[in-house]
Amino acid sequence: MLILLISYLQTGATEDSLYDVNPAIINRRGIYKDVYGSGAGREWSDYQFRPNFPIAMTVAPELFDTRHALHALRLADQVLRGPLGMKTLDPSDMQYRPQYDNSNDSTDPSVAKGLNYHNVSVAISFYHLTSEGSEGT
């Protein structure tokens, strides 16, 4: 059984009282949240903008309001799309660490031993390249 949790974060604060949101920790509006109820000390992760929602859109498009979906997709195109694929975290997020270094042996838990790999790697759709007259492997 597939369970999808889709929650749209309104573009303006006027409707916040109608939803279960914490306006004090909202980083970006007009996004689909893919996490809910992260718990004490990690509430901010409920508001991180990641490229997971388009996958849910393809699986269950009936769950999405067209206007909201188009807005979120445009935002993902502007903020998350890179030259090779999608960034896996919004660069304006407080947890974003743009420098990946697997040899970092510091005591900083956000980057040591490459723990920030999801911040800087790009999700690439792999495809098979072949040149004319040759077969790919």
Residue ranges making up the domain that contains 59? 7-123
The mean predicted confidence, pLDDT, of the chain is: 78
Q: How many domains does the chain have?
A: 1
Q: Provide the pLDDT for residue 137.
A: 46
Range in 16-25, 71-80, 96-105 the model is least confident about: 96-105
Among the residues of the chain, which ranges form H helices? 53-59, 66-79, 117-120
Buried-exposed string 72-93: b where 16+ CB fall within 10 A, e elsewhere:
beebbeebbeeeeebbbbbeeb
The token duo for 65 is: 């309001």
Higher pLDDT, 116 or 32: 32
Whether 89 is covered by a domain: the verdict is yes
112 contact partners, CB below 8 Å, separation of at least 6: 104, 105, 106
Whether 114 is covered by a domain: the verdict is yes
Q: Provide the pLDDT for residue 33.
A: 87
Whether 2 is covered by a domain: the verdict is no
The backbone torsions φ and ψ at residue 87, rounded to the nearest 5 degrees and listed phi first, read -70, 145
Which pTM was predicted?
0.74
Q: Provide the pLDDT for residue 97.
A: 74
